[in-house]
A = this chain, B = another copy of it.
């Protein structure tokens, strides 16, 4: 059982629900709270994480709860049960549901099992991302097929995509914790250590703040593998270490940062050249990220910076603008420039990336590289985003493109093959979009090559 933190006032939760009710207009909305997820047997559970939309509208950070918002009469009903004395022996005294609910402005409480009387086939709900919710939806609503409500999704995305001053405050905290964790790892890492020793060090920083990781961290000397969750390698002189990790503040808001640094005290000149191209691609994106600007255009601006830089170094050739137009740069930068961040590190990803990062005016591309762009729509004041360009040397991809002659007019495979074992570099920071432009979230942590070397000392 978790403590119930209330990062916002009851008025805030009431107001959020009111806005949602007005947007959706009619019908009943079912918010399924999360339960514990079993690891290797039922009672051996992973750390509890409440559903983010449930946290946003209902605020209660406890397992075993559900809620129904009735748009027709404006009422919110909480479904849950208080614990028995038997339970108190094992779990300690728990705050009464009634008292918890009062703190989020909810006065109507029903036993868990009564939910069957309140929802049916016409109830609106979100896409389930846990099998437990799929089963609950089918059982509670008496349906055979899951059909989430698009109207509900759009209403929630409109609301959660614009962060309030209070939310931004929590995002600042999450990013500051995250920056501190990265600084510790950058100072601690030495040749001869294993990746998992550094993960342990990072974990200690995260847990010391009574916080959690916002996602399973990537910490690897093989940065070219984008979602690498193995930590078995030993750091060697000459390696690059890529650490992509974030801390989730106890309010639920996420930080997400990446730093790449040399295991030796200095970058090699080859490493520094590529590093500076990534840094330029990162830096050019900051002033470009302003309200009204399509984030896809910011992405393409960073891609162009990468193509220009790699052309200067000799890995690419021809006109960089044409190269980006054709998608040749994606050999090195196959992912998107960034994504929304909030209560989820990829904010609302479970509601559908196409609804969160895209809108009526822009559809997702199917082109390699662009198809991995999570955020493309025009930025709005109050959006919180990541900026995270990278350059990777992925041997399997290089081989395939060379063998098939893909974008051969823009790629110097002779030079590229000298970089086959290079690894990967990514630099990532979090920003909030204000009227004047992008503002860094959290305390700044250096990332220019010289300062990184100084920190490695």
Contact = CB atoms under 8 A, between A and B. Distances in A.
Contacts of A132: 131
A81 interface: no
Interface residues of A, number: 68
Interface string A78-118: 00000001001111110000000000000000000000000
Contact of A131 (B44, B130, B204, B209): B130
Interface string A175-210: 000000000000000000010110111011111111
A197 B204 CA distance: 8
Interface of A: 1-3, 34, 37-47, 49, 51-52, 85, 88-93, 129-132, 134-135, 194, 196-197, 199-201, 203-210, 215-216, 222, 225-232, 334, 343-346, 348-350, 394, 396-397, 400
Contacts of A216: 44-47
A262 B310 CA distance: 61
Contact of A89 (B89, B206, B229, B396): B396
A4 to B, nearest CB: 11
Contacts of A43: 346, 349
15 contacts: A37-B37, A40-B52, A41-B349, A44-B216, A44-B346, A44-B349, A47-B216, A85-B397, A89-B226, A89-B397, A91-B226, A92-B225, A131-B131, A131-B132, A200-B206
A43 B334 CA distance: 18
A209 to B, nearest CB: 8
A143 to B, nearest CB: 15
A49 B43 CA distance: 14
B215 A92 contact: no
B207 A200 contact: yes
A273 B37 CA distance: 40
A396 B93 contact: yes
Given A38-B130, A40-B343, 14 more contacts: A3-B230, A38-B129, A40-B51, A41-B344, A41-B350, A44-B344, A44-B345, A44-B349, A90-B227, A92-B225, A131-B135, A200-B206, A201-B204, A203-B204
Copies of this chain: 2
Output the residue of A39, A199, A400 with the most chain B CB within 10 A: A39
A275 to B, nearest CB: 21
Nearest to A230: B3
B350 A42 contact: yes
Contacts of A334: 89
Contacts of A41: 52, 129, 344, 346, 348-350
Contacts of A209: 196
A327 B131 CA distance: 42
A204 B210 contact: no
Contacts of A208: 196-197, 200
A235 to B, nearest CB: 14
Nearest to A214: B44
A207 B199 contact: yes
Contacts of A397: 85, 88-89
A413 B88 CA distance: 20
Contacts of A345: 44
B42 A129 contact: yes
A69 to B, nearest CB: 20
Output the residue of A2, A40, A132, A346 with the most chain B CB within 10 A: A40
A92 B228 contact: yes
Contact of A396 (B3, B88, B207, B226): B88
Contacts of A204: 200-201, 203-204
Contacts of A88: 394, 396-397
Contacts of A194: 210
